[in-house]
Amino acid sequence: MDTIKLAAALIPDGDLLPPEEYERIYPERERAPKAEVTRLAPSPTGFIHLGNLYSALADERSAHTTGGVFYLRIEDTDEKRKVDGAVESVIRSLKYFGIDFDEGAEIASPLNVYGPYYQRQRAKIYRAFVKRLIEQGRAYPCFCTEEQLNAVREEQTAGKKTTGYYGAYAKCRNLSETEIYDNLKAGKPYVIRLKSEGSIENKIAFRDAIKGEVTVTENDQDVVILKSDGIPTYHFAHAVDDHFMRTTLVIRGEEWLSSLPVHLELHKVLGFKPPRYAHTSSLMKMDGETKRKLSKRKDPELSLDYYRKAGYFPLAVVKYLMTLLNSDFEEWSLKNPDADWRSFKFRIEKMSRSGALFDLDKLNDVSKTEISKLSARECYEFLNGWVTEFGTPQDKAHFSDAEYIIKVLELIMGVGGKKRRKDIERAEQGVALIDYFFDDTFRPEYNYRYGKEIVNAVLDGFIAAYDPEDDNSVWFSKVKALAPAVGFASEMSEYKSAPEKFGGNVSDIAEILRIAVTGMPNSPDLCTIMRILGEERSLARLKAGKR
């Protein structure tokens, strides 16, 4: 068989460079020995989910803690997956969570010498290598139709054989020269397959950066490397691109582990040294009794938009993910509460081998802790950002008065102060939390635990004594003074020593006032709340609270 002639017939492109040329065009990067070159390589659907962010974080940290490079490559070999504006959307989504690329598609950078970063634009490179493989007799055309392939698979399944295109099932592998040219002349569509030399009898010991020693079975499948549209498959593009973009560490989901043998063989046949691989376990969730991988279709919490809409603090999502990535991150954070999270020493090797269940409780805790560290103005900015995008018209109106909101945050939530409350987990809930500071969203339910007489007596008594100038202690002494008239204890100690003698105590008096003023039995410091509301509104609410 004249493979040179065959290659020219199959890949007739007249403008291909000799493959060796690419070694010169894309030379080894100049980098420190330990510096890692990593990449995020999404398909251009534009849908970036939590799993992508998790993985991107591992990539970004691996590169940037070692002084390396993190770049963006777009795997657009499947036309069907393309969505307009997707690349910008990927970059924007990651930027929202503080992740920036050094190089790559749509990234303005002097480093962009390893591009193009869209696989479709790299067709010539792939085709040059496919052509060389055909010349070397390591790849061949396959004219099998989808129907034929399906029939073979069914036969294999029925006979309990391994499915796929290999060994005796690789029909087109042994096509004669005349058969090939006849098919070509007939205009039959074809793909190019790798002529695998592997055997499933052979095991390969492989070192994964996360999983450690892994044994995989050698590939014996004649996988498709060039699709009938002349575009390579993922497997082939990965080998070529990660080699010529000089990637040192490929971090990807563990669903790729099973195709590792293919990638290893491809590197070998192309004469490339494979990069280091790190296969991450996927994020799981509970589904009834069992765990399962988070799914795009079923789980809204996989979508990054979910966190934006709910108003999670982006840094909190990142920090939570960091704790899943390197579990000692949490301990480090506790010891260094004010340190920039980026100064933590992330290492890919510390990643867990098993898949973590995504824990919203934990995320909520991280989020409220992060938000509590904000200054009142920063907190306002954050909440306002959410309100602008997702808030109701009322929220927007409230937030137009920045000074009032900041005052509320400072005094009530203790934001930015020494006594930090941790009331706000998410912007959505934080915004709702201050609804009672505005008359149009103040919707009291008046669920008093005492009867009309007591409630009215307390309220009237306080109205008579109320002075907006009172400081905290005077205010409280007035609350205490209300107790005896309704048969309540004004001192807690008094009450505790003989609860049966009283109808209630000071805290119950305060509760009645609190329900009238805030509409809720629980709230931050009531005296401060009344001061913020002002005399007029406070009095109006006290009066309206009467039964």
Of residues 41-60, those binding RNA (CB under 7 A): 41-43
Q: 251, 406, 506, 517: which one contacts RNA (CB under 7 A)?
A: 506
Beta-carbon neighbour count of residue 89 at 10 Å? 16
- With CB under 7 A as the contact rule, which of the stretches 110-118, 161-169, 175-183, 438-446 interacts with RNA? 161-169
- With CB under 7 A as the contact rule, which of the stretches 61-69, 82-90, 226-234, 462-470 interacts with RNA? 226-234
State yes or no: residue 301 binds RNA (CB under 7 A): no
Cα dihedral angle (436, 437, 439, 442), rounded to 10 degrees?
0
Taking the complex as a whole, the smallest distance from the CB of residue 291 to RNA amounts, in Å, to: 4
Residues in region 275-294 near RNA by CB under 7 A: 282, 284, 290-293
Residues in region 188-217 near RNA by CB under 7 A: 189-191, 203, 211-212, 214-217
Taking the complex as a whole, the smallest distance from the CB of residue 77 to RNA amounts, in Å, to: 4
Residues in region 341-380 near RNA by CB under 7 A: 350, 352-357, 359, 361-362, 364-365
182: left (phi over 0), alpha (psi -120 to 50) or beta: alpha
Taking the complex as a whole, the smallest distance from the CB of residue 387 to RNA amounts, in Å, to: 21
Query: How many whole angstroms separate alpha carbon 265 and alpha carbon 402?
Result: 62
- With CB under 7 A as the contact rule, which of the stretches 77-85, 126-134, 384-392, 456-464 interacts with RNA? 77-85
**342-349: which pairs have CB atoms within 8 A and are 24 or more residues apart?**
342/64, 345/65, 346/58, 346/61, 346/62, 346/65, 346/322, 347/65, 348/58, 348/62, 348/209, 348/210, 348/249, 348/251, 348/278, 349/209, 349/210
H-helix or E-strand spanning residue 193? strand 191-194
Taking the complex as a whole, the smallest distance from the CB of residue 397 to RNA amounts, in Å, to: 26
Residue 450 CA: distances (Å) to CA of 144, 499, 504, 546: 83, 16, 10, 12
| Residue window 431-470: x/- pattern of binding to RNA, with contact defined by CB under 7 A | ----------------------------------------
Structure tokens at 192: 């190019």
Cα dihedral angle (78, 83, 84, 88), rounded to 10 degrees?
-90
- With CB under 7 A as the contact rule, which of the stretches 89-97, 146-154, 241-249, 446-454 interacts with RNA? 146-154
Query: How many whole angstroms separate alpha carbon 133 and alpha carbon 3?
Result: 9
Residues in region 393-412 near RNA by CB under 7 A: none
Per rule CB under 7 A, count of chain residues that contact RNA: 87
Q: What is the DSSP letter of 49?
A: B
State yes or no: residue 420 binds RNA (CB under 7 A): yes
Q: Which is nearer to RNA, 108 or 168 (CB)?
A: 168
Residue whose entry in the numeric block shows the structure tokens 């924007």: 92
Taking the complex as a whole, the smallest distance from the CB of residue 504 to RNA amounts, in Å, to: 11
